[in-house]
Amino acid sequence: MEELKISFSGKRLERLAKLKKYLSHKVELPVLGQSFKDEDLWIKIVMQFCVMGGARMIESLMNDSSKYSEFKNEIGLSKLLSFKKSKRIGHIANVLKTFKATRFHPQEAEKINALFSNSKVIRDRRIVLLDGLSYKQPFNKIRDELIRRNPYFKLKSASDFMIKVGLSRDVIALDTRILGVLNDHFGQKLKPNKVQANKKVYELIEEAFRKACKKIRIPLARLDRILFKYSEKRAIAFILEDLK
């Protein structure tokens, strides 16, 4: 990837401020430092695997509250712990396929199943992934440690997870949708797979967003939620291109 230069100033900063004005009040952020029951935390971990092939399938499932509740029961921690190791992966794959939670159910089932052999994630039948981590720690220290403990996490998934469990509001999950907004409305030509695989580039973009958010007085994580939630609904395109 060519050397990337990105900043938000002038018209670009005004555009971000415009998104804040019209959409900031429509998204909520998790409480920092909150605690979770193991079952709830486990589902948040599983969801990171479900979105690795794109978020549309799991979002569709979540929109059906009854079906989603059934899915959570079938993929829940206590349910999976009840299986013998040899039977667990088949159950996971079947659940992901049956509920259409991800396009890549065999691959993601293998990864989810592998967590049961990772003592940095699950130990003595409980989730230990967050042990010793606090929202008061530097965001990069938290993210690096999460990736070290769970190597299936990458910069994007670790950042998204941090936001959703209240570990940080100073990160952004640079997924296809958010990078698409940069390409469509901020004059960039970014390829998601290259950004997500290049730590230097990822952090450069993230820092540009971080500086801009300080100027317009909005948490970086709130901008993340805005860009993710409303890019698919074309609200961002309407606000930036049509609304005068």
Alpha helix (H) residue ranges in 115-234:
139-149, 155-164, 176-185, 192-197, 199-216, 220-231
Q: Minimal CA–CA distance to 182: which of 1, 32, 53, 6?
A: 6
Q: Percent of the chain at pLDDT above 90?
A: 87
Question: How far is Cα 63 from Cα 225, in angstroms, rounded to an integer?
Answer: 18
Q: Minimal CA–CA distance to 42: which of 148, 149, 128, 156?
A: 128
Q: Which residue has the higher pLDDT, 54 or 109?
A: 109
Give the CA radius of gyration of the chain: 19
Beta bridge partners of residue 123, listed in sequence order = 126
| 1 has a pLDDT exceeding 50 | no
In the predicted model, what is the mean pLDDT of residues 223-234? 90
Burial bucket for residue 213 (CB in 10 Å: 0-12, 13-18, 19+): buried
Domain boundaries, the chain: 11-27+171-242, 38-131
Q: Which amino acid is at 100?
A: K
Structure tokens at 97: 């396929």
Structure tokens at 198: 């290049």
Strand (E) or helix (H) holding 127: strand 126-127
C-alpha dist (Å) from residue 133 to 171, 187, 191, 219, 234 = 16, 37, 32, 20, 37
Model pLDDT for residues 187-228, shown as the tens digit of each residue: 899 999 999 999 999 999 999 999 999 999 999 999 999 999
Model pLDDT for residues 80-134, shown as the tens digit of each residue: 999 998 899 999 999 999 999 999 999 999 999 999 999 999 999 999 999 999 9
